[in-house]
Structure 1
Amino acid sequence: MTMTSKPESTQGDTITKSDLTRMAVNPGALGMEYSWNYPKQMSIPFCMMLTPLLKKIYRDDPEGYAAALTRHLEFFNITMYFAPFVGGVVASMEERVAKGEMEPETISSVKAALMGPLSGIGDSLFLGTLRVIAAAVGVGLSLAGNPLGPIAFLAIYNIPAFLTRIIGAQKGYELGVSFLTAAQESGLMNKVIHAAGIVGIMVLGAMTVSMTSVSIPIEFGSGESVQTIQSVLDSIMPGTLALIALVLYYAALAKKANPMLLIVITMIVGILGAFTGVLA
């Protein structure tokens, strides 16, 4: 890849906190999922996110700028909220490459090394824990008729997400490649993933019981000893049917079942169950 003109200049050669903050919330950073593709996944938006910093780093080196763009169009995939952190790490490395202090291939190696561990943390924290907690609070308020439900969901989820983007970009630039070595040696990543998984499972269990409404009203016995199947199940373990439903859905999704098909089946079973009196 060649270029015949220099990249557009920006004032000053030093990357500032403002530069990193803008990178963390620019269209590339916010569009990680919108430009996703199967062959290289998040490569295009990641490269777009870094472009303003690369222009500053290679302002007097068009060929170096072109090589950097090509380098960052390689395969990349990560929990999107940690992409700015990797961007900060990469920016600090690109400065060293521009000065001839580091081989360009090292950047690709570090990106590949960061993707897996950070995705494990990010998916556990944001998708498996924070999103579930935000949904629990938002749905709970909405079911109670509180119009703040959607606002609460968006605030609980997005405020930490944007702080992670901005602070991550700045800390990634400050720490550089030393972060990966320090985190692996201390075992920090494994500890965070384990703790987030526990919290996520607890919240998911609470939501399963409180937000799944299904019962079997069929009665048996006579006189004062009449009982329903549901009362027997509750005496054994409250929320038994909700747990069974969760296990069935989890097994189906694990086998790549279509979520929309599961929703339709649930509706059909619910309607037939209510019509026949088997479910209530």
Structure 2
Amino acid sequence: MSSNTIEKKVTKADLRQIFWRSIPYNASFNYERQLNMGWAYTLVPILKKFYGDDKEELSNALTRHLEYNNITPFISTFLFGLVVAMEEKNANSEDFDTKSISSTKAGLMGSLSAIGDSIFFGTIRVIAASVGCSLALQGNALGPILYLLIFNIPNLIARWVLVSKGYSLGVEFLSNVEKSGAMDRLFLGTSILGLMVIGGMVGLNIAVPLKVTFFETNLIDVINGIIPNLLNLLFFGFIYWLVKKNINVVWIMLGIIVLGVLGSLVGVL
């Protein structure tokens, strides 16, 4: 928060810089805070503009933006723009609650990711791969080129448009929906959508070629005939139980890999 009388405003050049810096947003990844480094990197110029004359405020700003962060990169600029508007408000106000910045990120990045993943990974990438692969199988060099164009043109357009939209909505959007009670409904609706995406992933088949020898029947077909995808649900529940027991996620992932390799070698998976 700045005590200066000169109001600090975000310019179009600042938003363009956010756009360009968002492109390598997911180039750095860690298991503890995931994409926080890319998030902070994208915001560094804005934070220096707002708090460059106050090292303590700059340090606080960098600290809150190095918290856990993970959002689909293709629509990340919407949240970037929204957060930039909040930081602008904080830089020009003595009574702005900076905790609301972290709360906004935490509340929106998961639900926005569900939407972004569905659009870009679940739809656009599938279409791009279908077009690209069909041409590549025919020996046409346009296959990989069209794949990259079909996927990345909407990607760049979305980033460019959403950074301005997020900033223009800004704090006024949050205050308006909060007063109307729409924020709770928004979070509830987007959370449901996110859970639906996760539920769809749980429904993916686990191939178990193990057969009941006497009847010559595939065991997984018998199980699915009684309760479809029961094995998937049980496996998902087991992983969830491990996470609740605070088992390190890295060990869980390694265990899944080892289980898959051994299961494949012995013919069970």
Q: What amino acid is the match of 1:63?
A: E
1:115 lines up with 2:109 in the alignment: yes
Instruction: Check whether the contact 1:121–1:189 (CA below 8 A) recurs between aligned residues.
Output: no
1:22 Cα deviation after fit: 1.6
1:64 Cα deviation after fit: 1.3
Equivalent in the alignment of 1:222: none
- Percent identity of paired positions between Structure 1 and Structure 2: 43
Equivalent in the alignment of 2:119: 125
Equivalent in the alignment of 1:69: 62
* Matched pairs, number: 200
Q: Give the Cα–Cα distance (whole angstroms) in 2 for the partners of residues 16 and 116 of structure 1.
A: 28
> What's the TM-score, normalizing by structure 2?
0.63
Q: What amino acid is the match of 1:48?
A: Y
Equivalent in the alignment of 2:13: 18
**Secondary structure in 2 aligned to 1:137?**
helix
Q: Give the Cα–Cα distance (whole angstroms) in 1 for the partners of residues 147 and 15 of structure 2.
A: 27
1:153 lines up with 2:153 in the alignment: no
1:142 Cα deviation after fit: 1.4
Equivalent in the alignment of 2:134: 140
Cα-to-partner distance string for 1:126-164 (whole Å, 9 max, x where unaligned): 111111111011111212232111111001100111111
Q: Give the Cα–Cα distance (whole angstroms) in 1 for the partners of residues 119 and 184 of structure 2.
A: 18
Cα-to-partner distance string for 1:4-39 (whole Å, 9 max, x where unaligned): xxxxxxxx942112211221222xx22333211011
> What's the TM-score, normalizing by structure 1?
0.61
1:101 Cα deviation after fit: 3.9
Q: Give the Cα–Cα distance (whole angstroms) in 1 for the partners of residues 29 and 187 of structure 2.
A: 31
1:80 Cα deviation after fit: 1.3
Residue 188 to residue 39, structure 1, CA distance change in 2 (3 Å): closer
Q: What amino acid is the match of 2:99?
A: E
Q: Give the Cα–Cα distance (whole angstroms) in 2 for the partners of residues 129 and 43 of structure 1.
A: 26
Instruction: Check whether the contact 1:20–1:169 (CA below 8 A) recurs between aligned residues.
Output: yes
Q: Give the Cα–Cα distance (whole angstroms) in 1 for the partners of residues 38 and 15 of structure 2.
A: 16
**Secondary structure in 2 aligned to 1:170?**
helix
**Residue number among 167, 172, 176 corresponding to 1:173 in the alignment:** 167
Counterparts of 1:188-207 in structure 2, within 5 Å, are none
**Secondary structure in 1 aligned to 2:25?**
coil
Instruction: Check whether the contact 1:46–1:72 (CA below 8 A) recurs between aligned residues.
Output: yes
Q: Give the Cα–Cα distance (whole angstroms) in 1 for the partners of residues 26 and 116 of structure 2.
A: 14
1:36 lines up with 2:29 in the alignment: yes
Instruction: Check whether the contact 2:14–2:46 (CA below 8 A) recurs between aligned residues.
Output: yes
Instruction: Check whether the contact 1:81–1:165 (CA below 8 A) recurs between aligned residues.
Output: yes
Instruction: Check whether the contact 1:21–1:170 (CA below 8 A) recurs between aligned residues.
Output: no
Residue 133 to residue 104, structure 1, CA distance change in 2 (3 Å): same
Residue 33 to residue 187, structure 1, CA distance change in 2 (3 Å): closer
Instruction: Check whether the contact 1:86–1:172 (CA below 8 A) recurs between aligned residues.
Output: yes
1:69 Cα deviation after fit: 0.6
Counterparts of 1:56-95 in structure 2, within 5 Å, are 56-95=49-88
Residue 41 to residue 187, structure 1, CA distance change in 2 (3 Å): closer
Instruction: Check whether the contact 2:132–2:143 (CA below 8 A) recurs between aligned residues.
Output: yes
Instruction: Check whether the contact 2:79–2:105 (CA below 8 A) recurs between aligned residues.
Output: yes
**Secondary structure in 2 aligned to 1:111?**
helix
Equivalent in the alignment of 2:40: 47
Residue 133 to residue 189, structure 1, CA distance change in 2 (3 Å): farther
Q: Give the Cα–Cα distance (whole angstroms) in 1 for the partners of residues 155 and 87 of structure 2.
A: 26
* Pairwise CA RMSD: 3.6
**Secondary structure in 1 aligned to 2:129?**
helix
Residue 149 to residue 183, structure 1, CA distance change in 2 (3 Å): farther
| Unaligned residue ranges in structure 1 (runs of 5+) | 1-11, 201-246, 266-280
Equivalent in the alignment of 1:5: none
Q: Give the Cα–Cα distance (whole angstroms) in 2 for the partners of residues 46 and 164 of structure 1.
A: 17
